[in-house]
Amino acid sequence: MTLETRFRNSQYLHCYSVDLSTERIYEAFPAAQEDLKLSLFVSLVGGILGGTAAACVSNPADAVISELKKAKSDISPQQAVANMLERNGIATFFVGLPLRIVFYSLIASLTFVVYDFVRFLLQVGPDDLKLYLDVLAEVRQ
């Protein structure tokens, strides 16, 4: 898997996690969709959950990539994993995870809070966005 593919896959997981978590929060608290402050809070929580999920999933792969880059000779990813497990056990795959969780959560939270704030300012509802995307999909075909 190339670095670009891995990045794209973690972004999909990231967005899916945010979408799933905000959807569940809105199901539990439907009034939050109508209030700006509550909606921004839901976006904040969704960003934190999505960032955490993306960080936890992508950290082991990044640790292996770092190990491959540090190797003085060409080794396979399987050999890098074996070396990491032999050296420090499973914990090697999660070195730096807390910092990554903070970073990913911060980025995701800010992104979705700003997105929802602008969406509220422009008075664009989720149904409007779905309709727009449906129209674009039809035009592409």
Domain limits, the chain: 3-140
Sign of CA dihedral 92, 96, 102, 104: negative
| Percent of the chain clearing pLDDT 70 (strictly above) | 82
Kindly report, residue by residue over 43-73, the tens digit of the pLDDT: 899 889 988 988 898 899 889 988 888 887 8
Q: Among 61, 75, 82, which residue's Cα sits nearest to residue 3? A: 61
7 pLDDT higher than 60: no
**Residue that the structure tokens 């794209």 belong to:** 8
Task: Give the model's pLDDT for residue 30.
Answer: 87
Band (94; pLDDT cuts 50, 70, 90): very high
The average pLDDT across 102-118 equals 89
**pLDDT by residue (tens digit) across 97-109?**
999 999 989 998 9
Spatial distance between the Cα atoms of 43 and 20, rounded to a whole number of angstroms:
11
- Residues 56, 122 contacting (CB under 8 angstroms): no
Evaluate if residue 12 carries a pLDDT over 90: no
- pLDDT for res 82: 92
Provide the mean pLDDT of the chain: 82
Statement: residue 15 has pLDDT above 80: no
Residues sharing a CB contact under 8 Å with residue 85, sequence separation 6 or more, in sequence order: 92
**Predicted confidence band of residue 11 (pLDDT cuts 50, 70, 90):** low
| The pLDDT of residue 14 | 64
Q: Given this model, what pLDDT does residue 126 score?
A: 66
